[in-house]
Amino acid sequence: MVGEDLKLSVRDLSISYGDQLALSGVSLDVREHEIFGIIGPAGSGKTSFLRTLNRMEILQENMTVEGSIVFGGRDISEIKNVFALRRRIGVVFPLPVGLPLSVYDNVALAPRLSGIKEKGALDEIVERCLTRAALWDEVKDRLTALGSMLSGGQQQRLTIARALSQNPELLLLDEFSIAVDPVTTMRIEDVLKELKQEVTIILVTNLVQQARRLADRTAFFLSGELIEVGETEDLFSGKVEDQRTLDYLEGRFG
């Protein structure tokens, strides 16, 4: 059930690359245990938005962020350990990335970095996360194979397994289905629907129908601005606040 507690509160967020404004004046809330969809054409600032949620802008040279982001009650610009923040947030990118370690080590990486050392505990985590990511059956006999040599669809599911191995509170998915075949996409969508009970999910997608299938509420970004946020059902049945949202949903541009 979608809770009323807020997982994430964003106020007046602005992102610039050098002197190029990429996103301005974004304010929104994400509730616990909901799937929050973000749609919009390419270049509207969706990916930049995601990157600020786990403070990845620190690692990029000319990226400046203004505004406030409150995660689980804390303003993330005031915390002392940014790595702890990132550990609590799992991220899946558009391009599948299998690390050049064994499949086992790919999934055991995050737990090990958090201090878990006993083989029994790690074995259990690896199997659980690979199963949740719908990959276990395909790799259970080749856990020593290099993650970077798996197929694209497998690498994407491996990425999800890695994200799950962090035991995250928040899962960010950025157009995860781009480099993945439709069957795998469907499997992953089923996984997400299950995960919703334990994890809050933000799903950036360029597939409007995917948002319709999965998201409880959806936000529409256009040219660096947040146009509106609404219940997915409402938006898709035409109850929008801004005409541009309707235009985008009906495929008139983007």
Partner 1 sequence: MNHSDADKALAVEPSMFSATNLNAHNRRLQWLFRALFGLMTLILVIPVGVILAVLIVRGGPAISIEFLFSHPSDGMTAGGIFPALIGTMWLVAVALIASVPVGVAAAVYLSEYAPDNWLTRGINLAIINLAGVPSIVHALFGVGAFVIFAGFGTSILAASLTLAVMTLPVVIVATRESLQAVPLAFREACWNMGATRWQTIRTVVLPNAISGILTGVILEVSRTAGETAPIMFTGAAFFFPFLPLSVFDQTMAMSMHLFVISTAVPGVPDELKYGTALTLITLVLLMNAISITFRSYLRGKKKW
Partner 2 sequence: MLAEQAKPPASMDLDHRGRDWYTDKAIAFLVFVGGISAVIFIIGIFVFITKEGLGFISGPLDVREFFGSPAWRPTSLREPTYGVLALIAGTASVTGLAMVVSVPFSLGAAIFIGEFATGRLREVLKVLVELLAAIPSVVWGFIGLSIMNPLIIDLFNVPVGLGVLNSGIILGLMAAPIMTTIAEDALKAVPDTYREAAEAMGATKWQVIFKVVLPAAKNGLVAAVLLGVGRGFGETMAVLMASGHSINIPTSPFDSVRALTATIAAELGETATGSEHYQALFTLGILLFVVTFIINLTADLVVRGAKKK
Among 12, 123, 198, 231, the residue binding partner 2 under the rule CB under 8 A is: 198
Q: Containing H/E element for 111?
A: helix 103-113
Pick the piece of the chain touching partner 2 (CB under 8 A) from 16-24, 78-86, 133-141, 232-240: 78-86
Select from partner 2, partner 1, none the partner in contact with residue 93, using the beta carbon and a kind-dependent cut-off of 5 to 8 Å. Answer: partner 1
Residue 95 contacts which entry, partner 1, partner 2, none (Cβ below 5-8 A, type-dependent): partner 1
Rule CB under 8 A: is residue 116 a binding residue for partner 2?
A: yes
Choose the contact partner of 242 out of partner 1, partner 2, none; CB within 5 to 8 A by kind. none
Q: Which two tokens stand for residue 79?
A: 């915390």
Q: Is 87 in the site for partner 2 (CB under 8 A)?
A: yes
Binding-site partner at residue 54 among partner 2, partner 1, none, CB < 5 to 8 Å by type: partner 1
Between the alpha carbon of residue 99 and those of residues 103, 112, 148, 162, the distances in Å are 8, 15, 5, 10
- What is the rounded distance in angstroms from the CA atom of residue 96 to the CA atom of residue 110? 17
CA distances from 137 to 60, 105, 129, 142, 181 (A): 38, 17, 12, 10, 18
φ/ψ (deg, to 5) at 179: -100, 25
74 binds partner 2 (CB under 8 A): yes
- CB 83 to partner 2: min, Å: 7
Give 84 or 149: the residue with its C-beta nearer to partner 2: 84
Shortest distance in whole angstroms from residue 97 CB to partner 1: 5
State which residue, 97 or 186, has the beta carbon closest to partner 1. Answer: 97
Residues 120, 122: Cα–Cα separation, whole Å: 5
Nearer of residues 171 and 226 to partner 1, judged by Cβ: 171
